[in-house]
Every structure is written in C-alpha cells, then in structure tokens.
Amino acid sequence: MRTKGIPIQQLLLALALLAGVCWNLARAGELRGVTVDTGATGTRAEIQLDREVEYRLIPLSSPERLAVDLPGVALRKGLALPSGGGLVRAVRSGHPVPGTTRIVFDLSDKVAALRPRFEPGGNGPRLVLEWPGDGAAAAATPTTAAPAATDPLAILTQGAVTGAQAPEVAPQPAKAPEVLPQPAVMRPLVIAIDAGHGGQDPGSRGPSGTREKDVALAIAKELARQVDATPGMKAYLTRDSDYYIPLNQRARKASAAGADIFLSIHADAWTSPSAKGAGVFVLSTRGASSQRARWLADKENASDIIGGAVPAGKNGDAVLTSVLLDLTQSGNLKASEDAASHILGQLATVGNMHKNHIERANLAVLRTSDKMPAMLVETGFISNPSEEKKLRDPVFQRRLASAILEGVDRYFSRQSPPGTLYALRAEAARSARQGGSP
C-alpha cells in the first residue's frame, strides 16, 4: 500500500529516528563518581559514568593539572569528589560551557597520563586515567588534602580507597604486616654498580695517599643512593664494603641480580701528574682505541693478580674467550656505546674529560657482561693532585654520581625495556601526543 509521495514505512522510520535523536539529546550522561587510588604502578583515577561518552583531555602546566571535559554529561546530584591521593593533590569540577562537565586533577608533578580507556563496571563504564610512577615515589609525594592516602600500606591493606573516605583510614595500627602483596605488573630497572678494586687490591694511589678502591666505593655508594631515590630504578652494588671480587665474577653477580646495565667505577692514574679528566670505556676484543687505552686495560686487568684471584703469569684460555666474546658481544656492544655516550655527555657537564669520545679496550671486567650494556667509568685522575682532592670531596662525588645517573636515565628513556616504568612513560608520552577520545 502506498500513499502519494513518501511511502508510509519510510515516514514512520524517519519519525522514529527523529524521536530517538531527540531523546538522546534530552538525556544527558551522568557522572556517578570519581575515585583516586595509588598502587605499585602509580596513581589511578576513575570517572564513573552511566555510558561511554566523548571526552577531551586538556593538560595544563604551572601548576600541573589535567582537565577532562565531558560534553553532554552532568554530575550526579550531591556527588562528593575525592580529596586526592598519590600524584593527584586535589580533584575539582566545573562547567567551562553550559552542558559540559569538567573534572580537574591538580597534580603534584609533571607526569604525562597514559592514554585513557573505558573499563566496564557493574555500575556503568569507567573512564580510567593513569599516571605512571612507583608506589614508593607516589607515597613520598606530599598531598595536602588526604594524608592517609599517601600511605601505600594503608591503601594496600584497605584495598581501593577513594579520597573522600581517605580520612577514615588515618588511624592505622602502628605496625603493618612485613610482606604485602604487590601487583607484579612492573619491575624496576636494575642498575648494577661495580666499585673497582677492593680488599688487598687498592687500585691506583694518589700523591697524598688516596686509594682508588676507597674513592670508587664512595662514588658507587652515592650513585646507588641516587638510583634508589629515582622512581622506576633499583641499584645493585657488586660490593658495598672493602673486599675483593674477581673481575670475571663482577658482571656475573650483576646478571644474577637481573641487571639492565653494568657500570664499573674507577679512578685513573698516569705517570705524569698533569694528566686529567674523566673517561668512559667499552669493551673491545679487537685491540684498544689508543695506546693509553691498552695500557689502562693492562693495569685494570692486573687487578685479579693483585687481588689474588689469578696467579701471576697465568693467562688461561684468553684466545678461546675472545673468540666466544666476539660472538656474544656484537649484540650489546652497540647498546654499550649508546649508553656510554649518554654518560660521557653528562660527565662533560661536571668536569674535565680526558677525551671527548668513548674509548675501547679489552677490559676483563666487561668480558662477562654479555647480556647488558656495560662500561667502565674512569671518574678522574687520582694521580693528578687537584683531581685527587676533588675525587675525595663528597660534593664532587655527588655531582659525578648525578651526572652518571642522568646519562643512565637518558639512555633508558630512549631504550626502555618492556615492563618498566620507563616503558610506561614512553607509552604515556606517545598517547599524550595523540590526546582526546579514541
């Protein structure tokens, strides 16, 4: 059956569609709640909604904030927002234009959020925002609004805690259980720091009697302290006091500890007191980059004889070792050079460099580091009176350590192993460039 002009079915369909559009327009989305939570992987906020809606992210700096605009969404009547937690200092809401709800997260630090995603929930979908960080660092961040939420123990024992309820967890018992379940989703980068020499092997000696083994240990310990204070990193010291470890055991110990990089810390010496500057060496099994690099390898490799690990004159199966090394080292030599160049670049900002490029030498301590980038850092010339004095100075030791750490940080920011905070950050930076609803 047909009427003149428009067929009746089409007319009815058009009316039904129009009604549907009107109904959707009239029915605003509802924001049902906001929660902020901290865990081992950082800070997580959830925006509870009645359905998946369009959203827009607006990162703002000075002070750091992240605004989330939700067009066509209204706040549930009487909704209380959480007071914050972890990286989030406070949560506020507003209406930049009528009909749009804006949720503002005030942040205590400049950290890019991961790409937001919707997760299904019993009470409707949740828009999930995450700022990568490690639990300890997030906990150390002071929040003015919700002191209880900064205690990771309180959060882990309480489960999900919203900021609004946070004050209720404040009177926690003084002692928390020793071992708490940690979600095994992220591992720290393990930075292996090897203080050269030790025990019966003092290393080189400065004109006023400073021993290389003591300076190397002091710098290594300071570097470890700074590494442990860096979110996403953990230090491993091959030695933490005055004893000797055979050269071929040092990188093996680091590998067993799951190291991602191996840094052997030394101080150089030369016959002339005017020789000066730091240097960074990577392994070469095919000759040294200079006569002095060869001499340095001979000197550092003699460590085992002095330390008592190898009888003098016994060179063992050096030829076979070097053939096997050529096979295994080619892969990570590139990584070693890459990491070494970042560290060399940073050391140059602290003091003199002996050479402005990486050097290569057949260093025994690096020969067993076949699975990770590895290098030997000569922090300065202990044989040079003014550098000897600086190497003993805790302030200079701190500056050296922070330069090495900065180089390590830069390297891993570009080459981040999967499952680490550095990999999450790289992902967040990528999604920050995309922004908005998917």
Closest CB 365 distance from Zn ion, rounded Å: 9
- Which burial class, exposed, middle or buried, applies to 32 when counting CB atoms under 10 A from its CB (0-12, 13-18, 19+)? middle
Closest CB 266 distance from Zn ion, rounded Å: 3
Within positions 315 to 374, which residues make up the interface with Zn ion, using CB under 5 A?
A: none
Tokens found for residue 311? 């009888």
Contact with Zn ion (CB under 5 A) among 39, 152, 203, 231: 203
CA–CA distance, 49 with 32 (Å, rounded to integer): 5
CA–CA distance, 95 with 100 (Å, rounded to integer): 6
Within positions 277 to 316, which residues make up the interface with Zn ion, using CB under 5 A?
A: 300
Instruction: Write b or e for each residue in 379-416: b if 16 or more Cβ atoms lie within 10 A of its Cβ, otherwise e.
Output: bbbbbbeebbebbbeeebbbbbbbbbbbbbbbbbeebb
With respect to Zn ion, which residue has the nearer C-beta, 155 or 265? 265
- Asked if residue 206 binds Zn ion (CB under 5 A), the reply is no
Please work out the total of residues on this chain that contact Zn ion, with binding judged by CB under 5 A: 4
With respect to Zn ion, which residue has the nearer C-beta, 141 or 379? 379
With respect to Zn ion, which residue has the nearer C-beta, 105 or 262? 262
With respect to Zn ion, which residue has the nearer C-beta, 199 or 258? 199
Query: Mind giving me the DSSP string for 225-277?
Result: HHHHTSTTEEEEES-SSS----HHHHHHHHHHTT-SEEEEEEEE--SSTT---
Contact map string, positions 156 to 195, toward Zn ion, x by CB under 5 A: ----------------------------------------
- Give the residue among 272, 375, 263 at the shortest CA–CA distance from 329: 375
Closest CB 204 distance from Zn ion, rounded Å: 6
With respect to Zn ion, which residue has the nearer C-beta, 163 or 196? 196
With respect to Zn ion, which residue has the nearer C-beta, 203 or 380? 203
Closest CB 377 distance from Zn ion, rounded Å: 10
Q: Token pair 């025990």 is at which residue?
A: 199
Closest CB 353 distance from Zn ion, rounded Å: 17
User: Is there a contact between 323 and 286 (Cβ–Cβ < 8 Å)?
Assistant: no
Closest CB 259 distance from Zn ion, rounded Å: 20
Closest CB 212 distance from Zn ion, rounded Å: 5
Three-state DSSP state, 143: coil
CA–CA distance, 333 with 15 (Å, rounded to integer): 70
Query: Mind giving me the DSSP string for 381-434?
Result: ETTSHHHHHHHH-HHHHHHHHHHHHHHHHHHHHHSPPTTSHHHHHHHHHHHHHH
Closest CB 200 distance from Zn ion, rounded Å: 14
- Give the residue among 82, 67, 71, 69 at the shortest CA–CA distance from 29: 71
Closest CB 292 distance from Zn ion, rounded Å: 14
Within positions 8 to 27, which residues make up the interface with Zn ion, using CB under 5 A?
A: none
The DSSP 8-state label assigned to residue 79 in this structure reads: P
With respect to Zn ion, which residue has the nearer C-beta, 203 or 277? 203
Contact with Zn ion (CB under 5 A) among 196, 232, 277, 279: 196
- Asked if residue 266 binds Zn ion (CB under 5 A), the reply is yes
With respect to Zn ion, which residue has the nearer C-beta, 89 or 266? 266
With respect to Zn ion, which residue has the nearer C-beta, 39 or 203? 203
- Asked if residue 250 binds Zn ion (CB under 5 A), the reply is no
Residue length, the chain? Answer: 438
User: Whose CB is nearest to Zn ion?
Assistant: 266
With respect to Zn ion, which residue has the nearer C-beta, 162 or 204? 204
CA–CA distance, 160 with 221 (Å, rounded to integer): 37
Closest CB 214 distance from Zn ion, rounded Å: 12
What is the binding site for Zn ion (CB under 5 A)?
196, 203, 266, 300
